[in-house]
Amino acid sequence: MLNENHALIFDFPEFKQDIVYLNYKDDTFKNLSKQYHLLDYDIRQLEIDGSPTDDEHMHQLKVERANLKDVLFQKLKEHHDSTVSTD
């Protein structure tokens, strides 16, 4: 779907508290999250503008976004699981 916002909070609502916590307490997560959101914004802008880039470049941007999302998801899951198991 074109111009779909892939913000972590929308894609992983079950991790909302973890996202907020890690953005404040984990600099690595915060930096990766910022990079992810900027990349998502760039992709959406290209889609809005009718993709003024070649298909290979757009594909590479989306692969990079997916890879970042995978890393962020793993960090979210690890944090969530560690807080659930200690409660």
Indicate the pTM of the whole model.
0.87
CA distances from 47 to 2, 53, 58 (A): 6, 10, 9
pLDDT digits (tens, 9 = 90+) for 5-63: 889 999 999 999 999 999 999 999 999 999 999 999 999 988 888 767 788 998 999 99
Q: Which residue, chain included where needed, has tokens 């659930």? A: 84
Phi, psi for residue 2 in degrees, rounded to 5: -75, 145
Q: What is the phi-psi region of residue 85: left when phi exceeds 0, alpha when psi lies from -120 to 50, beta otherwise?
A: alpha
